[in-house]
Amino acid sequence: MSITTPAGFTAAALTAGIKPSGNPDMALVVNNGPEFHAAAVFTRNRVVASPVKISREAIKDGQIRAVLFNAGNANACNGIQGDADAQASVDQVAELLGISASDVGVCSTGLIGEPLPMDKIHAGVEKLVPGLGDHGGAAAVAIMTTDLVPKETLVKGNGWTLGGMGKGVGMMSPSLATMLVCLTTDASATPAMLDEALRAASKVTFDTLDIDGSTSTNDTVFLLASGASGVTPSQEELNAAVLEASEDIARQMQADAEGVTKRVTVTVEGTGSDEQAVNAARTLARDNLFKCAMFGSDPNWGRVLAAVGMADADMNPDRISVYFNGQAVCENTTGTPHAREVDLSGADIDVLVNLGTNGPGRATVRTTDLSHDYVHINSAYSS
């Protein structure tokens, strides 16, 4: 189960020496066709890394034939030199594969503000191309930064498959918080179908995975389709498969976020719209006092109310209800008897907040607790 399981895809990975650890740090994923359709979503950060600039241009025509990855260096905030370096790596991939550079995407993750070691990049690309094969698993390892485990998925359609790999997510080391995902499928689908499926899935998976509120300069999710199965799924089938794969990768990211002792699922309902529900869920998911309470297995519903009261969402301040693991701890903005005795000692905590209006809005955000290890990892990294 990897990105090279679907027909039409090959990959290669190797150690180029970018990571000081000496672990694998470069990967190449190639779509061998017959179709080369693709979709992508990128970071909403306005400060974007050079590889994101190039990938954004490349995806515009809905066609991508190869994606180059490196870990250990984000190639972000490197000015014009960074743009030129990213372009040079893409040009080299295109030349060796005999394809257009405008059909090559590029993803980097690692330290911000360090020049890309181009000698290592060029030597790496030189070896990656002849090494292409069924090496999706190795690629998933090569894109890791502080991830403890590689993250892969496989979804089976009716006569077609969809594979995926991903790395990272906030709550990792400082400048390594980037989320990179590559999904591959041998289904035949137009760029518009892929785009619809990827945006719908990202909205409720990667976009609602909120570990520490930080958004990287490099976040990128690619969906590549080779059409090699000869099967054209319906939009609904494609949507369902992309959603399932995205959910699986997102869950693996949440579980692997460093320093995590609790996986916290925050659902908000009873507000004006789904967007408002996301706002409120995100406000709670980012509240450090709430996150510390989760670390302490403390059913402190007062912090939940104090946090959601600041959210940009319709609410009835006198009719808010809060449930921890299905048990009501606050109804009509007032504590229930024995609310403080709810057992939150398990690793998974489910929080449901009803904002007390009749509005149809509902959304779920996945987050984690704020632990001693989070502070340790994120303060000690550079030193």
- The smaller minimum CB distance to a copy of itself, of residues 115 and 360, is found at 115
Closest CB 201 distance from a copy of itself, rounded Å: 22
8 Å CB contact between 63 and 191: yes
How many whole angstroms separate alpha carbon 105 and alpha carbon 53?
10
- The smaller minimum CB distance to a copy of itself, of residues 236 and 345, is found at 345
Distances (CA, A) of 167 to 29, 57, 150, 219, 251: 15, 23, 7, 10, 12
As a whole number of Å, the end-to-end CA separation of the chain is 38
Q: 161 among the known binding-site residues?
A: no
Chain contacts with a copy of itself (rule: CB under 8 A)? 44-48, 74, 76-79, 82, 111-114, 170, 174-175, 177, 212-217, 286-289, 292-293, 295-298, 300-303, 305-310, 315, 317-318, 320, 330, 332-335, 339-340, 370-372, 374-376, 378-383
Q: For residue 124, give both structure tokens.
A: 């790496």
- The smaller minimum CB distance to a copy of itself, of residues 150 and 259, is found at 259
Distance, CA of 329 to chain centre: 32
- The smaller minimum CB distance to a copy of itself, of residues 169 and 238, is found at 169
Q: 145 among the known binding-site residues?
A: yes
How many whole angstroms separate alpha carbon 183 and alpha carbon 105?
13
Catalytic residues: 178
DSSP alpha helices (H): ranges in 34-162? 50-58, 79-97, 118-128, 136-142
Q: Count CA atoms within 13 Å of residue 226 on its CB side.
A: 24
Q: For residue 174, give both structure tokens.
A: 């400082």
How many whole angstroms separate alpha carbon 297 and alpha carbon 153?
31
Scan for tokens 């997102």, then name that residue.
250
- The smaller minimum CB distance to a copy of itself, of residues 139 and 330, is found at 330
Residue 206 backbone dihedrals phi, psi, to 5 degrees: -65, -40
Count of CB atoms situated within 10 Å of the CB of 204: 18
8 Å CB contact between 189 and 238: yes
Closest CB 180 distance from a copy of itself, rounded Å: 15
Which segments within 186-295 are labelled E, that is strand?
Answer: 220-225, 263-271
Q: Give the containing element (helix H, strand E) for 194.
A: helix 191-204
Q: 178 among the known binding-site residues?
A: yes
Q: For residue 192, give both structure tokens.
A: 């518009």
Q: For residue 92, give both structure tokens.
A: 């080299």
Count of CB atoms situated within 10 Å of the CB of 203: 16
Burial of 99 (0-12, 13-18, 19+ CB in 10 A): middle
Closest CB 304 distance from a copy of itself, rounded Å: 10
Q: 15 among the known binding-site residues?
A: no
Q: 152 among the known binding-site residues?
A: no
Closest CB 149 distance from a copy of itself, rounded Å: 22
Q: 5 among the known binding-site residues?
A: no
Closest CB 273 distance from a copy of itself, rounded Å: 17
- The smaller minimum CB distance to a copy of itself, of residues 69 and 301, is found at 301
- The smaller minimum CB distance to a copy of itself, of residues 80 and 130, is found at 80
CA 84, 89, 92: angle at the middle one, nearest 5?
120
Annotated binding site for substrate: 145, 167, 178, 258, 378, 383
